[in-house]
A and B are shown apart, each in its own frame.
Chain A
Amino acid sequence: GQNIDQPTEMTATEGAIVQINCTYQTSGFNGLFWYQQHAGEAPTFLSYNVLDGLEEKGRFSSFLSRSKGYSYLLLKELQMKDSASYLCAVRDGDYKLSFGAGTTVTVRA
């Protein structure tokens, strides 16, 4: 099976920066995804990394180090609407996605 770890909860202040770490051990690697999921809603795609380095998309950035089995999602200029769960998912050698349990981010005013 796959092993994907991310913190359970994080709290930050509006306007601040939060970094959500994800470590993984999988049989094969074919990309890492980050999804955002608001309470009671479906996961929505945020970012995709398959090569080492940083991918920037507006206020959100995602980093990958394949040799370390490590990724992070960086959320800048936090807004109240960013309060959600953030899911790290790894596509393995069989092209199946395995998800971490998710990190619940709470943004305080």
Chain B
Amino acid sequence: DTGVSQNPRHKITKRGQNVTFRCDPISEHNRLYWYRQTLGQGPEFLTYFQNEAQLEKSRLLSDRFSAERPKGSFSTLEIQRTEQGDSAMYLCASSHTARPTIYFGEGSWLTVV
């Protein structure tokens, strides 16, 4: 499977704990995006990288959220001190600047209890 891969697919955590999601983009895609989706809403943009540089961050990305893409390949999204409002599906997507169609992974579901 050469699509966008996200892990873990499901995570249940207690309020106040930290969680980390990993995304492996399609091979050779230099752009990587993170989105969040809550029930009944469309996906909301959080941030994106071109290679290892984080080029844009939404105001939705509070200081408890941090995303990294250290070698320009996989990316991690960490949420510190989770709150119940963080419960959502976190989507990763990737594209290439020369072929800009964006492809999504299957998402990582977070439930904060």
A joins B in a complex: no
Q: Which residues of A contact B (CB under 8 A)?
A: none
Q: Which residues of B contact A (CB under 8 A)?
A: none
